[in-house]
A and B are shown apart, each in its own frame.
Chain A
Amino acid sequence: MLKKPLLFAALVLLSPVHASAIEGEKTVFQSPGAEKSRLVINGVTDADAIKPLILDFQQLAPDVTVEFNDYVSNDLFREAERACSTGQNYGDLLISSSADQLVKLANDGCAIPHSSAETDALASWANWRNEVFGFVFEPAVIVYDASRVPQADVPRSHADIADLLRRKPEDYRNRIGTYNIQLSGVGYLLAFHDALQAPTIYGRLLESFSRAEVVTGCCNNEVLDQIASGRLRIAYNILGSYAYAAFLKNPNLRVVIPRDYALILPRAALIPVKSQQTDLARRFIDYLLSSRGKTVAREKAFFLSEDDPLPEGVEGPASLIESGIGRPIRIGPALLAAQDRATRERFIRNWTALFTALDP
């Protein structure tokens, strides 16, 4: 039981470079051998989360130095769009959990196609045009502080959250957190799909969030930090990997996969059209999609996947997809609707209108 956190800690301590997980920051993973080339990855993910994968990849390619730049999803998207329209280089590989943004980039002709045995093996909803690839699928989960939330209150479904907030508004006023969907691409994507999946419940949820004066943050870690610090008690629509990592650090936290439905969010990769290391980018993608990569991802990086059994400490159905609870967000043109500017503006406007509180 303690092995995993120890392992995690060891990895963190033993990493040869100073890895500080600040979003938007550069982290360089020096090549284990003599450096022959450098792969620049711009991504929307924790460097810590992706580190095990990069290190393992460098076992296979010891002459490659990997530079990883951590961004907020909207920033990444904006930069990528600008670079694409002006014909400039912006990284060799893009990784983001805002799959809709990558699909929009691909639709606008900003991606280089790549096909290989690994990409051919992907399901059709994890691969669009051989330009956008989904390589990790994690559920959007509910995180709560077990020391502050009584068992009876533990929400196990979306409806439960709405009910809880209606029943005990005082207990949880300003104590529940989620994304500011204007700032967070992932948050927007999840909210958009919540509205699609269960429009009625979504409406009720929003309404109850509004009344409970929900706290919004820009990103996963910000919200999770606030739970860890005791400020928040419940966090909604957190990415499973972050949630689990937090759980490992703080045993008080618990991770719940909603029972009524759980959105499964892919992390996607794309090779931008002005990439300068297309071969390396292709190799990295193939690595991510390989069984070795998937194993490392499950055991060390993202912990949760769409069809493997849940690790200990996570509450939820045995198999997400098979049980019918998991609802994968498909990588495909349907995501373009989410990126339509008028639609997006209206969605955010409606959402914002219900909240008076913004990022504290």
Chain B
Amino acid sequence: MALVINWCLMTKTRRSLFYRLVVRVALVLFVGAAVLITAAWFYAKAAADEAYDRLLQGAAIQILDGLSVEDGRIGINLPPAAFELLGQAPRDRIFYRVVLPDGLTLTGYDDLAPSVDLTPARSGPVFFSEDYRNVPLRIGIVGRAISEAAAGGWAYVLVGQTTEARKEFVTELTTRALVIVLIMSALALAGTALAIRYSLRPVNQLGDMLLRRDPQDLTPLSVAVPGELSPFVDSINHFMRRLDERVRLLQRFIADSAHQIRTPLTALSAQVSLIHEDALSDNDRRHLERVKDRAGELAHFTGQLLNHAMVIHRFDSAQLGPLDVTEIARKAFRAAVPITIDPDTVVSFEGPDETLIVLGDGLSLREAIVNIIDNSLRHGTRFKLDVRVLKRGNFALVEVEDDGPGIPPADWGQVTKRFVSSKSGSGSSGLGFAIASEVAIALRGGLSFREKTPEKGFTVVLELPLHAEMTS
């Protein structure tokens, strides 16, 4: 359950940075686009009004030109040109009214804007919008002073037109602006998304690098990152340094503790070994056996702890040098096989014809092989233990074969982990294979197993890459 929640949180945070940025930019672009388009609409409307208002004005002026005074009366000859001018808006209907100085309508649509105040038109054309016969009109008023004595005063012409042409104009301009703005926004968004993705690459790279890291690797990160990320890298390195220190302290504590246990443990074994078995009852003898066994286990385990600590330490500080695998294996063989082994057990060692050189640390390699042999002797060997060193391809192999039941393949993955039973149900846990495996991996090799077959017994194989000079 906790894992599921953890994973959900992880995915959520991983997605959001890129998408958040893109969404925000998109939002800004959207708002900007909306503002631009609205501005374009307003501009188009103003432009349309201005352009078409000029038509109204022009037509009105032409109509006014058609006014003439005869016999003290004002008459009109409407020039068709005025309406042809208005015909520039081919679909729009035209309404007009000519008003005499006395306020009466001379001709036109009498009910066109009857209540509007005409006097402002004396100083210049006046434009306004009003509904007429249920359609919206745009109306312009132009006035002219008639200076004939009998019928003097101001005459006005109202010219109105429906707004279809204007609307079309506005729509067309706005649509064009919309298309341009949309294309620009799309380009901007695409460009920004690409730029963001590219800029976020260092973050992804850092993440990948961290993922690819060996979980045991606590060396500081050395990666070139942009300035914004360097605090992260610095704090990661700082954290890893502290972690590394803690790990070291812990290891040293374990080593020291094991070391401290060593003495009382030896004393315990010593005292137990002094007990005269003959003087004991059968029950007590059994208990004594058990005590001896447990003391032995304790001793073995303490030894392994110390081994492990030593091996780890050596990899931190020791330099790797060329080693003769066969010699080291032989030393390990001699050290690991106790003198007190059952005489019916046949233990043998076989080396290769040529010298095999690997790059490594002698002591830890020897410890690894000792651990493998020791494990076989304890849990595997019935009557046979063979240790072989041979060359295969570019690798040196150290094989330890016994005639015991072996480890079932299902357990092979687990066995190299610490404190896992190397023999199911035996109740003994150990670090032996863990040490051997860690040493092998540190020397760029590996630990593997081979199942028991009718011809050959269960084999533990320690594989190490041959030193480069040898393989060339």
Contact = CB atoms under 8 A, between A and B. Distances in A.
Are A and B part of the same complex? yes
Interface of A: 106-109, 124, 128-129, 196, 332-338, 340-343, 346-347
A42 B87 CA distance: 28
Given A342-B76, A343-B107, A129 B133 contact: no
Nearest to A338: B80
A337 B80 contact: yes
14 contacts: A107-B94, A109-B133, A129-B91, A333-B83, A333-B84, A334-B81, A334-B83, A334-B84, A337-B79, A337-B83, A338-B80, A342-B98, A346-B75, A347-B77
A337 B82 contact: yes
Contacts of A196: 80
B76 A346 contact: yes
B76 to A, nearest CB: 5
Nearest to B91: A129
A33 to B, nearest CB: 39
Interface string B92-132: 01110010000000111000000000000000000000000
Contact of A336 (B77, B94, B98, B133): B94
A340 B107 contact: yes
Interface in B34-83: 66, 75-83
Contacts of B75: 342, 346
Contacts of A336: 83, 94
Interface of B: 66, 75-84, 86-87, 90-91, 93-95, 98, 106-108, 133, 135
B126 to A, nearest CB: 22
**Interface residues of A, dominant DSSP:** helix
Given A342-B107, A343-B107, A337 B78 contact: yes
Nearest to A346: B75
A346 B95 CA distance: 20
A289 B76 CA distance: 38
Contacts of A335: 80, 83
Nearest to A332: B87
A79 to B, nearest CB: 20
Contacts of B90: 124, 128-129, 332
Contacts of A343: 66, 76-78, 107
Contacts of A338: 80
Contact of A109 (B80, B84, B93): B93
Nearest to B67: A342
A343 B74 CA distance: 12
A128 B93 CA distance: 10
B80 A334 contact: yes
Contacts of A337: 78-80, 82-83
Contacts of A333: 83-84, 86-87, 93-94
